[in-house]
Chain A
């Protein structure tokens, strides 16, 4: 589904990604771990197409098509979804209105007609029940006055509504208490099918107790320095990251 080859990216001339290789197939869950400043969030942003970053080398393909030249919205239309670490507030725009706009813009890009009000309502009801979301929540202004947990849950709700092929969850566990974490993780597990894929970006192993990854990658200085299965995460929990840093590996 997603193939990243030798990806280099920088911001203001400072290199952050230093040759990333990663392949994610349909039905897989990948976890990307690493210490602060290792380039985890940058990788998520670059896949989503954030223009602050300049890709200097390498290739990203989605279903064997290059997306390097695509705008962020084009990538979204192709089924890439990013759950933000810090979701932004948009006052006066309700959760419902925002999601409706989002769905219809994607449909328009695919040459489909706008989704009718009845279908939209049905979908909203279905997905909010699935994730245990109070309907009152849907009429609130997007992320305005939301608690940390509500913001993250809203991200997962949008993901449920948009049904992306590839979901990248950027530090979705940060700032969540254990109950909120469980709710979010349940949501992700429920939405997982053999046709979609998930990339979990996280600093801690904690999230991986709830969402079990097929593969774990460790990022350091903008490079994947080690890949393995879920056992790698446990090892990291025990030993920290230091033993993987290139200077210690040498």
Chain B
């Protein structure tokens, strides 16, 4: 790959981000730009069947007619979609039987990220399906899972190996025309994860995927599909880090969850995309569509700790279609420096006796803007729907902002909706109080922030909760006094 002087200079300037290094792996990158040929080429490169190619083309057609949404409470320079390269895959052999075959430089990257596959396997009982750029390079624990009939693989593999499942469910929760970014993703998604839990099976381990953006200027368009068959259970973890880049990187993922009768899906995210430097330059645009559907007696629980990205636009939602189904959303969103986040959830109550809980904790520091946007909708058929929402904001300093846009639409009289909201500020008095008890300022902030976020952190699986706590501390370092 040829570098211009300019690119090289930029490269050297952006070394601040801890995970901001760049792995020099031979890459096979498409030229920038988006048209039907590119869409077809992506599909071809991934050896997809014709129905998939057609689905992508249909999505592309829809996308071309759509405009980028303007309603979020964020300001950014609109990406030039013709300047992005839509496919980049590590050039090494795409599939491996063991880790020994994996490009050592790639493994080194993972080690620097603190992801030791072996340790993860042994200590945490986590099967890791790592997505580096666009192609899955290592899948572990497949055998253990296979014994239970659980399928956990890349979406590309699923399209080839389990077309009946993919065909039935892809786009069933997030249709192609759902929104601008979902349509774009549907046309050009590069890779992502697929998970199927058979009837009555309790997945014995936390399933986990790490995502990374690697090539300069390649947008990542991940597609995740999780299907929990009747009376099954799965806990899914998603964690992200990204290397720093001077130009903005677009990340437009789509996650679809399907919880059939009596099934439960717990989906946890720790998101730490590069947020840009202190002046707000660079950083990832994270425009994600996440949604799940609950059939009868099913439950979907979203837990997220969001600390990264320059701009975040994200509303993990639940469609409570089946009677007695339950939706939950637990979120901590941290913004610092010039970060902007517009995030929240939608709880759509369609079935009878459906319940939803929303706990949103926003922490703003520096010059950042943090918005909660949530919709609770109760349809006319949803007898006895219940919702409890709590939105708390914590401000650090005088230059940041916290905003809340709660929407409630109720068409059934039996519904009971509760909404609570608070805004507080980390005060010098709190800090001094801690100081006086021998606790230094940095530790004091960590204590206060963790206390504020406790209800959400408690929902994360153990190992993840510790990581998330550290991440909160790192994200807010030096933001007071």
- Using CB atoms and an 8 Å cutoff, list the residues of chain A in contact with chain B: 48-52, 71-73, 75-77, 81-82, 84, 87-88, 90-93, 97-98, 101-102, 105-106, 109, 141, 158, 162
Chain A residues closer than 8 Å to B429, beta-carbon distance: 88
Chain B residues closer than 8 Å to A105, beta-carbon distance: 437-440, 443
Interface membership of B240, Cβ < 8 A: no
Interface membership of B104, Cβ < 8 A: no
A151 to chain B minimum Cβ distance, whole angstroms, is 12
Docked complex Cα distance between A97 and B430 (Å): 15
Chain B residues closer than 8 Å to A73, beta-carbon distance: 435-436, 438-440
Docked complex Cα distance between A50 and B435 (Å): 9
Interface membership of B454, Cβ < 8 A: yes
B408 to chain A minimum Cβ distance, whole angstroms, is 25
- Using CB atoms and an 8 Å cutoff, list the residues of chain B in contact with chain A: 424, 427-430, 432-440, 443, 447-448, 450-455
Task: Give 23 A-B contacts (CB < 8 Å), ordered by A residue.
Answer: A49-B436, A50-B432, A71-B440, A72-B436, A73-B436, A73-B438, A73-B440, A76-B435, A76-B436, A76-B437, A84-B433, A88-B430, A90-B448, A93-B447, A93-B448, A93-B451, A97-B447, A98-B447, A102-B438, A105-B438, A105-B439, A106-B438, A162-B437
B432 to chain A minimum Cβ distance, whole angstroms, is 6
Do residues B451 and A158 form an inter-chain contact, with CB atoms below 8 A? no
Docked complex Cα distance between A90 and B434 (Å): 10
Chain B residues closer than 8 Å to A93, beta-carbon distance: 447-448, 450-451
Docked complex Cα distance between A93 and B440 (Å): 16
Contact of B438 among A76, A84, A90 (CB under 8 A): A76
* Given known A-B contacts A71-B435, A72-B432, A101 and B440 have beta carbons under 8 A apart: no
Nearest CB in chain B to that of A74: its residue: B438
Nearest CB in chain A to that of B433: its residue: A88
* Given known A-B contacts A92-B454, A98-B447, A158 and B438 have beta carbons under 8 A apart: no
B260 to chain A minimum Cβ distance, whole angstroms, is 36
A84 to chain B minimum Cβ distance, whole angstroms, is 7
Docked complex Cα distance between A101 and B453 (Å): 18
Q: Is the interface of B mostly helix, strand, loop or mixed?
A: helix
* Given known A-B contacts A72-B435, A102-B438, A90 and B427 have beta carbons under 8 A apart: no
Nearest CB in chain B to that of A71: its residue: B435
* Given known A-B contacts A88-B430, A93-B447, A102 and B455 have beta carbons under 8 A apart: no
Closest 6 CB pairs of A and B: A92-B451, A93-B451, A72-B435, A76-B438, A102-B437, A92-B454
Do residues A92 and B438 form an inter-chain contact, with CB atoms below 8 A? no
Contact of B451 among A52, A88, A141 (CB under 8 A): A141
Docked complex Cα distance between A102 and B436 (Å): 9
Number of A-B pairs whose CB atoms are under 8 Å? 71
Nearest CB in chain A to that of B361: its residue: A92
Chain B residues closer than 8 Å to A109, beta-carbon distance: 438
Do residues B439 and A101 form an inter-chain contact, with CB atoms below 8 A? yes
Nearest CB in chain A to that of B392: its residue: A91
Do residues B452 and A92 form an inter-chain contact, with CB atoms below 8 A? yes
Do residues A158 and B437 form an inter-chain contact, with CB atoms below 8 A? yes
Nearest CB in chain B to that of A82: its residue: B436
Docked complex Cα distance between A102 and B435 (Å): 9
Contact of B427 among A49, A88, A141 (CB under 8 A): A88
Chain A residues closer than 8 Å to B447, beta-carbon distance: 90, 93, 97-98, 101
Nearest CB in chain B to that of A45: its residue: B432
- What 13 new A-B contacts, CB under 8 Å, besides A72-B432, A93-B450? A51-B432, A73-B438, A76-B435, A77-B438, A91-B424, A91-B452, A92-B450, A92-B454, A97-B447, A101-B447, A102-B438, A105-B438, A162-B437
Chain A residues closer than 8 Å to B443, beta-carbon distance: 101, 105
Do residues A87 and B440 form an inter-chain contact, with CB atoms below 8 A? no
Chain B residues closer than 8 Å to A88, beta-carbon distance: 427, 429-430, 433
Docked complex Cα distance between A188 and B438 (Å): 21
A78 to chain B minimum Cβ distance, whole angstroms, is 10
Nearest CB in chain B to that of A78: its residue: B438
Nearest CB in chain B to that of A142: its residue: B451
Contact of A92 among B433, B434, B439, B455 (CB under 8 A): B455
Chain B residues closer than 8 Å to A52, beta-carbon distance: 428
Nearest CB in chain B to that of A76: its residue: B438
B228 to chain A minimum Cβ distance, whole angstroms, is 32
Nearest CB in chain A to that of B432: its residue: A50
Chain B residues closer than 8 Å to A82, beta-carbon distance: 436
A58 to chain B minimum Cβ distance, whole angstroms, is 21
* Given known A-B contacts A92-B451, A92-B452, A101-B447, A87 and B433 have beta carbons under 8 A apart: yes
Do residues A102 and B430 form an inter-chain contact, with CB atoms below 8 A? no
B429 to chain A minimum Cβ distance, whole angstroms, is 5
A163 to chain B minimum Cβ distance, whole angstroms, is 12
Chain A residues closer than 8 Å to B454, beta-carbon distance: 92
Nearest CB in chain A to that of B437: its residue: A102
A167 to chain B minimum Cβ distance, whole angstroms, is 12
Docked complex Cα distance between A51 and B480 (Å): 14
Docked complex Cα distance between A162 and B436 (Å): 12
Docked complex Cα distance between A82 and B437 (Å): 8
Nearest CB in chain A to that of B426: its residue: A90
Chain B residues closer than 8 Å to A81, beta-carbon distance: 436
Nearest CB in chain A to that of B439: its residue: A105
Nearest CB in chain A to that of B440: its residue: A73
